[in-house]
Structure 1
């Protein structure tokens, strides 16, 4: 199952070993193999309406606005690039400072107010994937690791009808 959408901008240039090594050095992390495997298929970009189910009792009050009908939307997965293109995890240090986010995150998707990120604060290898908000840094674990995040994706049309109504 490919998660990539072909409807938007082209992805970053194809992945190569030195690009990965430079990104890991810059971010001081070892990127998950499952993430790198996905980027080998396409180096980041928009994904087809992928939703991640979250138990409603696990959602902190400050994050409820980012959860709809028990799902968090992940609209893209940042690739690795050596340019100033949007959708590049090498911009993570800038965004962490700009939005006063904690260190040891690698930002995969977000709009400034909330982010989906690899969270290296608690694991150096195969970290959990979290939803984190900029105001206050409240976070919610979406998956125990990147591979589990990919496995948990469900499509928008399996949750909502053509009019956007929840299918329950």
Structure 2
């Protein structure tokens, strides 16, 4: 399976490295990196992935969203010690993906490091795979389809806020889309959430945000509420700076399609 995305503007990609560079990094971090990780970064030194989730190795099948892997260097796995110190994480970990308060890490408590997922805010720790090799094999692209009953499902704003602050990207997508069918939608709250999520680290979430902005732009710009219009424009401005070309182009198209309304 092709792992790396072909994104040309990739905030996680580092300059190419050699095996000699990797040897120096292993000495610096005082850990032996998995061979499969070294093979990956020799192909491309970190970046966005051509997948959006990883299957957890446990009895009941479940997925956790992931869209990038750090490169061998800094910013990258060499920043792991500072992240560990800042967030009070165990020293035997090596962070190789994540943003803010959630991470994927190699756990070196065994001879072959396992892969774990850490969610700092909820103190959630999940063993994802027994090895980095298994982790790579379990990467996949998950898609979400909704039945009529699921589209009718209602979440409160309080429940939704909690979901939006978490890392279940498929659920974030589901909740965002479901509110488009709510006849009593609080548009001010909805546009506020769209703005907050317009810079989300997960690509799938930002793709959903630009989709709902397109679907709601005409309605928001036609109403008298200037606050909602400003929230919409701020979210679009964020997406104009998105590292993903498709999202950036979509934001540009939304603006061009509504230029007369934006100028009024």
TM-score category by the smaller chain? 0.7 to 0.9
In the TM superposition, residue 142 of structure 1 has moved relative to its aligned partner by: 0.6
Distance 1:101 1:42, change over 3 A: same
Bigger CA radius of gyration: 2
Q: In 2, Cα distance between the equivalents of 1:136 and 1:154?
A: 25
Q: In 1, Cα distance between the equivalents of 2:44 and 2:139?
A: 17
In the TM superposition, residue 23 of structure 1 has moved relative to its aligned partner by: 1.5
Greater relative CO, 1 or 2 (CA 8 Å, sep 6+):
1
The TM-score with structure 1 as length reference comes to 0.76
Residue in 2 that maps onto 1:134 = 120
**Number of matched pairs:** 148
Alignment counterpart, residue 138 of structure 2, candidates 135, 139, 152: 152
Deviation digits for residues 43-78 of structure 1 (CA, Å, limit 9, x no counterpart): 1111123311237877xxxxxxxxxx9310111111
Distance 1:119 1:56, change over 3 A: closer
The TM-score with structure 2 as length reference comes to 0.50
> Cα RMSD over matched residues?
2.8
- Richer in helix (by share): 2
For structure 1, the residue ranges without an aligned partner over 5 or more in a row are 59-68
For structure 2, the residue ranges without an aligned partner over 5 or more in a row are 147-169, 175-264
- Richer in strand (by share): 1
**Alpha carbons 1:117, 1:131 under 8 Å: kept:** yes
Counterpart check, 1:46 vs 2:30:
no
Q: In 1, Cα distance between the equivalents of 2:115 and 2:57?
A: 15
Counterpart check, 1:143 vs 2:144:
no
